[in-house]
Structure 1
Amino acid sequence: MPKSATLSIALATYNEQDNIVDCLKSLKGIATEVIVVDGSSTDQTRQLAKKHKAKVYKTTNKPIFHINKNLAIKKCKGDWILQLDADERLTPELKEEIAQVLSGSYFGYTDWRSSQKYQADTPPVAYWLKRRNYFLGHYFTKSGQYPDPVIRLFRRGFATLPAKSVHEQMKVNGPLAWLKSDLDHFATPTFSRYIQRENRYSSLTAQELKDGGVTINPFSFINFIFIKPLSTFLAIYLRHKGFQDGFSGFVFALFSGLHHALSYIKLWELKSGKRNLNLQTDWS
């Protein structure tokens, strides 16, 4: 039997002491090495990561977090790389699938909905993973939040992050396939955590609006304060069936819509000189 390929885990962190231990524990038995690039956390993130045998590198906390993710990826030496966030967990089922990929006995599926296995002549160099998002005591099944696909598992040298936007996907040089099992995501297990993240994301969006030349006038006011919030709420709650996710779905749809209004207000602050966004300190 051929020897299995090696796997490196790449993480970028900033003040993740509440998440890092559970994340690293979920990797037990699958990873050859764990690389953590930490953006100068002020809590115990680095100490806890080192305690759990990760290789930790300290750097600055970049406005675009994917810059540090790329730094972690570049330090990896495994045949394959799995890029994770500290608030994500590997399920036993997903670990088993990844182990099959490493052994060369499994190429995944053509689509997350399909039972058709990948059978192209050229093996995939990267895989889509399905994220299962946890919010207010509930795993989303609708609301446009499942399967929340992300490209995370890839052969070393075949993928990288553009590092231009917080929600971008990996740029992959080669064929892609899907894994079937879920990657658990605990980004916003509590509402206070959700608000912290929204502060960060609305600041980024405000800067993007400013860079894109959006002006403050009656038309943009109506668009960002009324039209976009309402249309986003209706899209998530009705078109994406957020109502099936109960109270969690309603809250998510409501505040996803309000993201536009919050970003616009921060844009007004930027243009009026009343706010100087510090994207490092707007996030914790």
Structure 2
Amino acid sequence: MTLSKRKTLAVVLATHNEATNIERCLKAIQALADEVIVVDGASTDATVQLAKQRGAKVIETTNKPIFHINKQLAIEAAQSDWILQLDADEVVDATLLKAIDQLLSEESPKSAFWIKRKNYFLGAFLTKGGQYPDPVIRLFKKGKAYLPQKSVHEQMVVEGEVSQIDGHLLHYNAPTFKRYLTNANRYTSLTAQELFNQKVKLSWGNDLKYLVIKPLMTGVTLFMRHRGYQDGFRGLVFALFSGLHHALAYMKLGDLYRKAGHARRH
């Protein structure tokens, strides 16, 4: 019997000021990585230095308005058979590491895999409120997946069959509430820009929609329908501030219209 040649793995990241996270992220997967590609968007901390110390090939560029642009640059720079695209605040757990190791020794007909995520918020991982299993496509064959780079909320586009792999990504995106608010500020700004590009108007109807209806519906849906109440206080805070995302983005949309000299309400 002829044994198939073991496949190679590239770990790719886009970073911006991730010195507090990058080492933990790379250390967890380094044993399986044949290459590590980091596209850094003008970090002002030690991200680049720390990534290089972990053996990464670092491509330095600007910090793009849509972060997926730099993620796609990292994907395109990879040369390995399989690509694992990570965020710097994510960590591969032991079960996922073992599953990827097994995959690299096989001839898989799949083009890509969903990976479940555990999202860390206010001291623990959320289990409800739409935050688990939070599957994301992050592991794929080279040339079989890409990011459209049009929206902050987009998923990977895959050519071929997608399956699910065992294990989790541990997502430490909000280790503190301060960090959560920093992330929320960035994402609401990106959402506001998308609304501006879509020509969403400032009107009484949209005031009601974005300031009242969408926040209430989002909060109630996450807390009640998706059982965020089972996460207790953390579930309540997450549902509340997830709803406020719509209101904050809409208020920032007003800033964009005023900056453009088109603040007239409809």
TM-score class, shorter-chain normalisation, is over 0.9
Alignment match, 1:272: 258
1:72, 1:154 → 2: CA distance? 14
CA distance in 2 between counterparts of 1:272 and 1:73 reads: 37
Counting aligned pairs with the same residue, the percent is: 56
Cα distance in 2 for residues equivalent to 1:17 and 1:228:
35
Match of 1:81 in 2: 83
Gaps of 5+ in 1: 108-122, 276-284
Report deviation, 1:217.
1.8
Residue matched to 2:212: 226
Q: Which structure 2 residue ranges, 5 or more long, are not aligned?
A: 262-266
Contact 2:188 2:248 (8 Å CA) reproduced? yes
Equivalent in the alignment of 2:174? 188
Aligned to 1:13: 15
| 1:147 and 2:153 correspond | no
- 1:157 is matched with 143
**Equivalent of 2:65, from 42, 63, 69?**
63
Per-residue Cα deviation, 1:7-38 (whole angstroms, up to 9, x for no partner): 00010000000000100111131110100000
**How much does 1:2 deviate?**
2.8
Aligned AA (2:123): G
Q: What is the CA–CA distance in structure 2 between the aligned matches of 1:199 and 1:163, rounded to whole Å?
A: 20
1:119 alignment counterpart:
none
User: Offset at 1:166?
Assistant: 1.2
For residue 257 of structure 1, what is the aligned residue in structure 2? 243
Deviations 1:61-102 (Å, cap 9, x if unpaired)?
Answer: 100111101111111111111000000001111000001111
Q: Counterparts of 2:88 and 2:50 in 1: how far apart (Å)? A: 12
Show structure 1 runs of 4+ deviating over 2 A. Answer: none
Q: Is structure 2 residue 217 aligned with structure 1 residue 215?
A: no
Q: What's the TM-score, normalizing by structure 2? A: 0.95
Q: In 2, Cα distance between the equivalents of 1:204 and 1:182?
A: 27
CA RMSD of aligned residues (A): 1.3
Task: Report the residue type matching 2:210 in the other structure.
Answer: F
CA distance in 2, matches of 1:264, 1:166: 16
- Per-residue CA deviation, residues 84-140 of structure 1 (Å, 9 max, x unaligned), is 0000001111000001111117x5xxxxxxxxxxxxxxx111100001111101111
The secondary structure found in structure 2 opposite 1:49 is helix
Q: CA deviation at 1:225?
A: 1.1
Please state whether the residue corresponding to 1:248 is helix, strand or coil: helix
Q: Match for 1:197: what amino acid?
A: N
TM-score by length of 1: 0.89
Deviation of residue 54 (structure 1)?
0.7
Partner of 2:96: 94
Counterpart of 2:14 in structure 1: which amino acid? A
Equivalent-residue separation in structure 2 for 1:223 and 1:73 (angstroms): 38
Q: What is the CA deviation profile of residues 193-252 of structure 1, one whole-angstrom value per residue up to 9, with x for unaligned ones?
A: 110111111111111111212111222111111111111100000000000011111111
Supply the distance in 1 between the matched residues of 2:30 and 2:60 (Cα, whole angstroms): 23
Q: Which residue identity does 1:247 align to in structure 2? A: F
SS of residue matched to 1:26: helix
SS of residue paired to 1:8? strand
Residue 180 of structure 1, CA deviation: 2.1
Structure 2 counterparts to residues 116-135 of structure 1, below 5 A? 123-135=109-121
